[in-house]
Amino acid sequence: MVDLQIEPIRSIDKLGQRRAPQGNLPAWPCRVLFTGRAQTGKTSSLLNLVRAMLSVPYPPPEGVPWTKADAKRDEKLQRVTILHLDPETQEYDALKDVADRFEVLGVADIIKNPRVLPRKQDYDGLKRRSAIIIEEVDFEALPAAAKSAVGTLFSFVSSHSNVSILASYQSYYRVPPFLKTNITGFVMTAPTNRSEWSSISLRVGLTAELLKELFDDAVVEMHDSISVWPDMPANSPWRLRLNLFGPVCPIE
């Protein structure tokens, strides 16, 4: 009998993807959801995560020629796109200095012309990293063409063009299904309604009782967060984190 084994075969379309440089940072690209009631620090956590992922050098993508010039360009993002109810928002201006291109697209702009949304050909996904940030956008209110374009960003452009997507919603119930399906990390501050934990627990592989216990025992301040990273091994100390970067349970 021939001894057959599974050999890893890399997707040629995803060569730009990068491993995490340390345990408490996600791989790039990632798709992270921030949930919690108003004024609990969701935006601050999101900004801190993006800036942290730029402050620690990521390993070059495997199989891609990498020069010192590439490493220098990697200190900034190629493009940051904000999808927001308010096209004049300044909430994310802290990322202007870490992006070659920074833009805010209001929901009205997207409804009027879905082609304002970035497409795969707008990115150099092989050597440059980019990010899309979404805040409280009700995708059900968008016309079919716009919903299709946004869905493509999540299901295809993110993984194939090296684009991390970070979304912020006050309630998990308002998060569209296609976004929930593609999430690789959940960051939760105090919820609008604790009943949300039952739905969240099904997605992250924890029990609602454990989520309640984590918030009751580990969360002290209103702006504290619990994050769950389902793509990490179940026995990893970094699968459950307090305030993005620290393990819930101390590492011995």
Distance between CA atoms of 143 and 32, rounded to whole angstroms? Answer: 25
Statement: the pTM of the whole predicted model exceeds 0.85: yes
Check pLDDT > 60 for residue 251. Answer: no
Distance in angstroms (rounded) separating the CA atoms of residues 69 and 28? 19
pLDDT surpassing 90 at residue 150: no
The token duo for 181 is 């399906």
Tens digit of each residue's pLDDT (9 = 90 or more) over 200-229: 888 888 888 888 888 888 888 889 999 999
Domains in the chain (CATH in brackets) are: 15-59+70-247 (3.40.50.300)
Two structure tokens written together for 226: 């619990």
pLDDT digits (tens, 9 = 90+) for 1-55: 888 888 877 777 777 889 999 999 999 999 999 999 999 999 999 999 999 999 9
Q: Is there a contact between 149 and 113 (Cβ–Cβ < 8 Å)?
A: no
